[in-house]
Amino acid sequence: MKLDRIMIAAPASGSGKTLITCGLLGLLKKKGFQVASFKCGPDFIDPMFHTKVIGTKSRNLDTFFTDHETTRSLLAKNAADCDIAVMEGVMGYFDGMGLNDSRAGASDLAQVTDTPVLLIVNAKGCSRSILPAIKGFLDFQEKPCIRGIILNRVSAMLYPRMKEMIESELDIKVVGYVPVLTDCILESRHLGLMMPDEITELHEKLDRLSQELEKSLDLEAILQLAKSAPPLPSPKPSYGEDPEKPEEREFRSRVQQAGLRIGVARDEAFCFFYEDNLTLLREMGAQLVEFSPIHDRELPPDLDGLLFHGGYPELYVKELSENRSMCASVKNAISRGTICMAECGGFLYLHEILEDTEGNPYPMVGAVSGKAHYTGRLQRFGYIILREGQVFGKQLGDIPSHEFHYYDSEQNGEDFLAQKPAAKRNWRCINSGDSLFCGFPHLYYYGNQQLPEAFLQRMLVEKEKKNRN
To 10 degrees, the CA torsion angle through 79, 82, 84, 85?
A: -30
d(CA 303, CA 259): 10
- Which residues, 6+ apart, have CB-to-CB distance to 23 below 8 Å? 178, 184, 206, 209, 210, 212, 213
In 147-242, which residue ranges form alpha helices assigned H by DSSP? 159-169, 188-192, 196-216, 219-227
- Which residues, 6+ apart, have CB-to-CB distance to 463 below 8 Å? 258, 260, 304
The two beta strands, 339-343 and 305-308, are: parallel
Query: How far is the CA of 382 from the CAs of 41, 80, 399, 403, in angstroms?
Result: 10, 30, 14, 6
To 10 degrees, the CA torsion angle through 329, 330, 335, 339?
A: 130
Q: Give yes or no: 184 in active site.
A: no
Amino acid identity at 218: D
Amino acid identity at 187: E
Q: What is the DSSP letter of 135?
A: H
Question: Which of 184, 344, 429, 438 does the annotation list as catalytic?
Answer: 344
Query: How far is the CA of 415 from the CAs of 67, 290, 303, 433, in angstroms?
Result: 26, 29, 26, 9
**216, 157 Cβ separation under 8 angstroms:** no
Annotated active-site positions, please? 344
